[in-house]
Amino acid sequence: MHILKFSYFALKKIMVTPANRFASLLAIAALTLPVILSGCNSAQGMPVIAPPATVDATADDAMLTAKIKIALMAGGASSDLDIRIRTQKDEVMLSGFADSQAQIDRSIKMVKRVEGVRRVINRMSIRRFT
């Protein structure tokens, strides 16, 4: 018991110096700060943020692109054509190659008949055979 008393007083004398006091306060702050800040990550009471509208727009664009591809396949135009379809909102851009202007015109007419298409941008070219 006498040894414990001596050790306690020796420890107390060491802790009294200003440098040790600063070090002990710094250690206490370093240990308690993460505990205090961990409460900041709690989602309770926070408003729920709805997903951006771009997710819906992307799904709508994909659906419209699928409808266009089905219309072109049903009309028989897609077998002879090398068409890429890009959809943004209700605007469709067709790019690629066809064998004739008649094929391009027929493809554009088919795309315009698809429900949801407001505008068709034609970037298709006639394939040149050499």
- The edge-to-edge listing of strands for the beta sheet with 91-98 is 82-88, 91-98, 119-126
Residue 112 has phi, psi (to 5 degrees) of -65, -25
pTM reported for the whole predicted model: 0.55
| pLDDT by position in tens, the chain (length 130) | 444 444 555 555 555 566 666 666 667 777 776 766 666 555 555 555 656 666 677 888 999 999 999 998 888 765 667 889 999 988 999 999 988 899 999 999 999 999 999 999 999 999 887 6
pLDDT the model gives residue 4: 47
Angle between helices 18-37 and 2-15 (to 10 degrees): 90
CATH pick for 53-126 out of 1.10.3470, 3.30.70, 3.40.50, 3.30.1340: 3.30.1340
Delimit the domains of the chain by residue range: 2-41, 53-126
Q: Where do the DSSP E strands lie in 2-114?
A: 82-88, 91-98
